[in-house]
Amino acid sequence: MPRTGEAVGRAPSDVRERILETAYELFSRRGIRGVGVDEVIERAGVAKATLYRHFPSKDDLVVAFLELREQRWTRGLLEAEARRLGAGPEEQLLALFDVLDAWFRRDDFEACSFINVLLELGPQHPAGRAAADHLANIRSLVRELAEEAGLRDPAAFAYSHQILMKGSIISAAEGDADAARRARAIARLLIEQYR
């Protein structure tokens, strides 16, 4: 018998999506350790067995959350907006900071889930490793833009550029609303160095 709030006859993918959406909201706001499985179950309105049928462990749920975060944030916001805002690859590299700047100024800015999970759980934890992999995917995006721009040593450039991105995120979390603008100015110098 379904728990209160669990729709009878709801398609399994709808239930999985509801669980994941609930976890997304909670994990992105409060971190992984700050949210228990019981809270996800209650907020999603599902039975414990239902959650574990879709996500055999909390780690599996966290990894799915990170995948959704990459889809929405890295691809859907960061990459899409930078490519839209920048006229060419060099401008798109700088536009990454324009996207960050707009994000930092939103009321719902919650810092970077990938950084948060990596620091919270460590690189040896399966979810921490997944977070590091997603950060590497962002670095791959930067490397790709650097290659398109014809910059020398795109891999080294991507590491340096991502340090600026990560640093601006941490600075914004500390309260520096202008962090992305400061980092953008430094990124311009970095681009000149790698031309």
Q: What is the largest CA-CA distance in the chain?
A: 64
Q: What is the predicted pLDDT for the residue at 7?
A: 40
User: How many helices (H) and strands (E) are present in the chain, helices listed first?
Assistant: 10, 0
Query: Measuring CA to CA, how many Å separate 117 from each of 101, 123, 137, 193?
Result: 22, 9, 15, 32
Q: Is 153 left (phi over 0), alpha (psi -120 to 50) or beta?
A: left
Q: What is the predicted pLDDT for the residue at 12?
A: 53
pLDDT tens, position by position, 149-183: 999 999 999 999 999 999 999 999 999 999 999 99
Q: Confirm if 91 and 77 have CB atoms less than 8 A apart.
A: no
Label residue 11 by pLDDT band (50, 70, 90): low
Q: Confirm if 128 and 122 have CB atoms less than 8 A apart.
A: yes
Among the listed residues 101, 24, 37, 32, the one whose alpha carbon sits nearest the alpha carbon of residue 70: 24
* 79 DSSP assignment: I
Whole-number Å distance between alpha carbons of 87 and 62? 36
Among the listed residues 70, 58, 24, 61, the one whose alpha carbon sits nearest the alpha carbon of residue 43: 24
Whole-number Å distance between alpha carbons of 69 and 71? 5
Q: What is the predicted pLDDT for the residue at 108?
A: 87
pLDDT tens, position by position, 127-138: 999 999 999 999
In a 13 Å sphere around the CA of 28, the CA atoms on its Cβ side amount to: 20
Confidence (pTM): 0.86
Q: What is the predicted pLDDT for the residue at 41?
A: 94
pLDDT tens, position by position, 48-103: 999 999 999 999 999 999 999 999 999 999 999 999 999 999 999 999 999 999 99
DSSP string, 15-70: HHHHHHHHHHHHHHHH-STTS-HHHHHHHHT--HHHHHHH-SSHHHHHHHHHHHHI
